[in-house]
Amino acid sequence: MLTGRTAVITGGAQGIGLAIATRFADHGARIVIGDLDEAKAKEAAASLDADAIGVGCDVASDADVVALLDAATAAFGSLNVMVNNAGITRDATMRKMTEDQFDDVITVHLRGCWNGTRRAAGLMRETGGGSIVNMSSISGKVGFVGQTNYSAAKAGIVGLSKAAAKEVAHLGVRINVIQPGLIRTSMTEAMPNRIWDQKLAEIPMGRAGEPDEIAGVALFYASDLSSYMTGTVAEVTGGRHM
């Protein structure tokens, strides 16, 4: 489904990002993994059964994002798919949250997504189009206690994506959003059991999702199967908070 296309995935060295990179590679894409940890990015790229490179990238830095996309086009000659997935958490109640904790999350998620979206769209518009997939969260829809920073950033990604999609649709660039729910990753599995059980009880399907289930939706958005879709938001939550 992605043969001959180059896909860049930020935050791609582990978790959902690596699952997306793996699924894309399985469908013939050339892969560029961007990650704050350059060594892990290169290790992840080497693990894929595909033409792949790993590049160190701080998505909060516009210069780093430009360098990441330059590396992609230098290595593979094109940029066809961009997945803005990199993120962090700095959870705390609003009363206890510091300005730095708020700013760090907003900067990485929201400005990082903006950097990736505008730079990728700028390249794609010159070459006939492409697909951008931005990673939000169900937290951006409903808001969670202790995540005023994260919920604000993830809601902002939806608005950013819809506005950007309107700007570049006529140029063949599509921009869509995924909102994962409770997905089984090393980060979520580190939750206290009582918190995990509480979240699980909210899911009509009765289970957590797997990273590969997010990757399947990312593949749909990246491929021609979604060729008439832009500015949409896919909730991948097992029915939680529908």
Distance CA(240)–CA(139), nearest Å, equals 11
Active site residue 221: no
- Of residues 24, 76, 114, 150, which has the active-site annotation? 150
> Radius of gyration of the chain from Cα atoms?
17
Compute CA 130 distance to the chain's CA centroid, rounded to the nearest angstrom.
16
- Rounded Cα gap, residues 58 and 217, in angstroms: 25
Distance of CA 72 to the CA centre of its chain: 17
Positions marked catalytic: 150
